[in-house]
Amino acid sequence: MIAELGLAALWLAAALAALQLYAGAMAQRDAGGGLAALVRPAAIVQGLSCAFAFAMLLWLFAITDLSVKLVATNSHSAKPLLYKLTGAWGNHEGSMLLWVAVMALSGALIALVERRLSERTMLATLAAQAFVGLGFYAFLIFSSNPFERLAQPAAEGMGLNPLLQDIGLALHPPTLYFGYVGLSVAFSFAVGALLTRQVTPEFARVMRPWVLGAWVFLTLGITAGSYWAYYELGWGGWWFWDPVENASLMPWLAATALLHSASVLAARDALRAWTIMLGVVAFSMSMLGTFLVRSGILTSVHAFAVDPQRGTFILVLLALYIGGALALFALRAGAIAEGERFSATSREGALVFNNVMLSAILGIVLLGTLYPLLTEAFDVRVSVGPPYFNPAGAFFAVPMLLVMAVGPLLRWRRDSLARIQRPIVLAGVVVLAAALAALAIGGMSVLALLGLALSAGLAVASLLPLRGRKLHRIPLAVWGMVVAHFGLAVALFGMASETAFSQERLAAVTVGETVQVGPWQVTLSEVLPNAGPNWTAIEGHLSASYSGGDPVELDPQSRSFWAPVQQTNESALATRWNGQLYAVVGSEAQAEGQESRWQLRLWWKPFVTFIWYGGALVALGGALALVGRVRADLKRRIVRKRADERRAEGAM
């Protein structure tokens, strides 16, 4: 009955999306007609219905209802409750239902609170949101039904991929989906503005919080996903340029460009067409990522589906949404003037330059992601990895970082570099000093050296907008920018340090033997069996000492799961302020007449944690800016309302 309730709610939500689309489209002909009054209520009830459907799916996983196909193939009665619940979205159908539920709730929130845009543009936006949602409802109901029953209930479930049975899974996919869905909202706003030809600063101010929110969640999702892969997969790396990793990076790059472009439109009424185009591109990248992960053309721990028919369905949706939006843009681009002009040496000019650099990096990642897939269609296997992505990306990232250091110091509309000569010289001296220090250390690649030097310069430059100002009077949005830019510098420092200074040691050791890696001495104390709710393990007990200091205990495991059958490595980490010791224990080897030896893999990774500290700071900066923008908008509304009330009283 629970499954049937969930499916009925899903059908109801789909029907309401159809009503919302029809009423919104008809309202464009007659904004005062009766149908217009249905759009907002339909969006609200649709959101509640879809959320109810997802709640039913969570319930099915919580009680392990093995008569439901999705539960039987992705859960097990022996799993801890946390992983039963997270398993609801650790698969293709459940993750798509989560996606569409978040999107429907977003539409409901817009319908409930957003009153700044003209009613005609708002109705067009909600109609566009319903159009996007309707495609996903059709995909779920006809191709990926999460509530499908089995003819006979299974005796026991098949479990969830052991690599996904981790707290990281509880955070990583939902945060990414919030990001993707935020971009779908930006896409709907862009389509709505195109339909009504009302691309105004007010439109940008309405869209900007959604882009900011999406960007924050994408940042958190990518950061959490990177750290999850680092400690869970046992290979010691934090980024592999895997196509599925790139699938989340590409929307982030587009959203970053869109965020800055929307700020220019909101503040200076410029870049109208460019902002609309980025709104379309950002959502296109989200859809492309969905297609890559769910089409079956990729093999990855993140890739959920291996059914080409589902991939074809998503490809059709991608063509429909993006092709339609681009066609609409082509038809209406002439009616959208570019707005106010500005000098190349201005804050707008710096933002445009960085937008172009971000777009170029996006193109590089897109090409490197799709090229192996295209060649594989002709039976030619090509691997594209760091030797391509790192230098090609750095070619555009280096000038982008240099301009990013200067841009916030420039004035709007028109400025002169001579006015900010002193801070530029200060940042330049810091970059030069850091580069010389890195050269003195030696033994690192050019990219690592550049990364260390630029991170130092950017860290200093990011704080310069605070110079000479009363800190308590600085708007939250400015604090957000400063924190985000500083966070990027911190993350860049972590990436460069990890590349430049990491040390690895692979050894086969006996119990009691000591291995040196970097400043750490690691002794294998003992190896014991261990067991969890749905696994058994060989657990190594290590005693690690940093430069002869007090030892810390590490317990890496090699786990064996039985549902499904799979072996994983659980790394153990020792974290200090200046880096992490990373330990993995492997299999046993014993030659005849000799003592058993255990494979031990150790890494010393200086400042690697700065990568994720930096990511968290970038997200925090976005959150501060979001709060600041929302608070400013609320104040503006209150002031406007009071002014209207005073005018009304005067008229009386």
What digits encode the pLDDT tens for the residues 364-376? 999 999 888 888 7
Question: What pLDDT is stored for residue 467 in this prediction?
Answer: 87
What pLDDT, in 10s, does the model give residues 554-599? 999 988 887 677 788 889 999 999 999 999 998 887 777 777 899 9
Question: What pLDDT is stored for residue 429 in this prediction?
Answer: 95
Residue 299 has pLDDT above 80, yes or no: no
Between residues 233 and 500, the one the model is more confident about: 500
What pLDDT, in 10s, does the model give residues 629-639? 888 888 887 88
Rounded to an integer, the average pLDDT of 31-49 is 86
**Unique residue bearing structure tokens 């897939």:** 373
Residue 147 has pLDDT above 60, yes or no: yes
Residue 300 has pLDDT above 80, yes or no: no
Residue 602 has pLDDT above 60, yes or no: yes
Reported as a pLDDT band with limits 50, 70 and 90, residue 301 is very low
Axis-axis angle for helices 92-113, 167-196 (nearest 10): 50
Residue 305 has pLDDT above 70, yes or no: no
Task: Give the helix/strand (H/E) hosting 46.
Answer: helix 36-62
Q: Which residues contact 638 (CB under 8 A, 6 or more apart)?
A: none
Between residues 382 and 96, the one the model is more confident about: 96
Residue 303 has pLDDT above 60, yes or no: no
The answer to whether 350 and 403 have CB atoms below 8 angstroms apart is yes
Single-letter residue type at 450 = L
Percent of the chain with pLDDT over 90: 56
Expressed in angstroms, the distance from the first to the final Cα of the chain is 60
Nearest one of 53, 28, 6, 251 to 127, comparing CA atoms: 28
Rounded to an integer, the average pLDDT of 308-328 is 83
Measured CA distances, 254 to 14, 113, 212, 336, 523 (Å): 29, 27, 12, 21, 47
Reported as a pLDDT band with limits 50, 70 and 90, residue 509 is very high
- Domain locations in the chain as residue ranges: 1-162, 503-609
Q: Give whichever of 277-286, 307-316, 367-376 has the largest mean pLDDT.
A: 277-286
Looking at the whole model, is its pTM more than 0.85? yes
Percent of the chain with pLDDT over 70: 96
Rounded to an integer, the average pLDDT of 406-422 is 90
Residue 170 CB: number of other CB atoms within 10 A?
16
Question: What pLDDT is stored for residue 613 in this prediction?
Answer: 97
Question: What pLDDT is stored for residue 169 in this prediction?
Answer: 65
Reported as a pLDDT band with limits 50, 70 and 90, residue 484 is very high
